[in-house]
Amino acid sequence: MTTERRAAARFAAPTINLASVVYGLDAYLRSRGVDAADALRRAGLEPGDLADPDRRVPLIRYLELLEICADLLADPQFGLKFGAQYEPRHVGVVGNVALASRTVGEAFETIGRYLPTMVDATVHGVEASDGIVFVYSYYIDPLMMSYRQKADWAIAFACNLMRVGLGDPRWNPQEVVLPQLADETPAQRRTRAEIMGDTIRVGHPWAGIRFDAGLLKRPMATADAMLESLMRHYGDLRLAALPEQRGEIEQLRREIARVLVKGGIEHLAKATGTSVRTLQRRLKDTGVNYSDLQDDVRKTLALNLLENETLALAEIAFSLGYADVSAFNHAFRRWVGQSPGHYRRRRAVHADPPQRRTRSRALAGRFE
């Protein structure tokens, strides 16, 4: 593999299959007096992007589309409401295999396994501790944290998936955690509570839900062994069809992001079901080493997390696996040439939505 091909494999633009995540968006907007074609055009997309189950578009254009829809509807809770009404079976392999799974725990396990068939650069985690399970997700590419509609969509959809899977439309998580939350009116807070529940905590690095770990063993009301087998087979074929180098590097980047707090290459080898020596050889074959790949993941996550001004630098440092802020400061200066605090202060001037969108379009342009 040439140096250019290795670089392309390592830094390939993150993409998403829109047909899996915005099915019915055109009808949703039309019923509320908004032209879907206008929203797509503003996001640099076309109608075919919504319907083709095999077409993928730059991930950042999807994030931009959700923000544009919120603006056109004059509804800052668009992502929340759209996610709450979204039928889980429309989410392709991911939604169908999750609903067909035997238990709640298996449903979330399959989501993590087959998520790459729908979207790149995403970490999906399920962690149980002290009788509570935390289900969360986040992107590992920079400048994604500032898009609030996506976090609302993801949490509302996760709640909807649980309600459908459990056969309990009134189910709510014990707690919802969000990176940030805009000021809301009393009516908007009531709407959020109806969809997410009353217990919402802001300022967490990742968006997610917490609930009783005992639910992981609860049978899914929608379980279907034959459908699950068929969808797993189809999902495995879709995974195998992903570009080999990009798929492997993306998998390693996701696993590094998942195990950053736990340690180094030994934990990564265990998470990927291989030995340290085999993992090192695989990385060498793709033209990278573990240290460089870990630095790449930490840098992109740091740039992402610094967009969230509610997070203290110590929280960010811990989330990236650093023992203290000074070690994070040293690494960030090496990557960017300035301290994380200085970088954040300089970015603050770009916090308003119009400027953020100009920045996102420039980023999307670099990916194409």
* Predicted pLDDT at 171: 96
Predicted TM-score of the model (pTM): 0.81
* Predicted pLDDT at 142: 60
The residue whose two tokens read 């020596």 is 277
* 128 strand-pairing partners: 133
d(CA 114, CA 124): 10
Count other Cβ atoms within 10 Å, centred on residue 267: 16
- For every residue of 320-357, DSSP letters joined together read TT-SSHHHHHHHHHHHHSS-HHHHHHHHGGG-SHHHHH
Residue 232's pLDDT band, with cuts at 50, 70 and 90, is very high
Residue count of the chain: 368
d(CA 151, CA 25): 17
d(CA 20, CA 35): 20
Give the tens place of pLDDT for each residue, 82-102.
999 999 999 999 999 999 999
The DSSP symbol for 281 reads H
Count other Cβ atoms within 10 Å, centred on residue 329: 18
pLDDT at 362 over 50: no
Helix axes 290-305, 276-285, angle to 10 degrees: 80
* Residue range 152-159: mean pLDDT, rounded: 94
What is the phi-psi region of residue 165: left when phi exceeds 0, alpha when psi lies from -120 to 50, beta otherwise? alpha
Residues 95 and 89 sit within 8 Å (Cβ to Cβ): yes
* Residue range 333-341: mean pLDDT, rounded: 94
What are the residues whose beta carbons fall under 8 Å from the beta carbon of 214, sequence distance 6 or more?
131
Span of 213-222, 254-263, 272-281 with lowest mean pLDDT: 254-263
pLDDT at 7 over 50: no
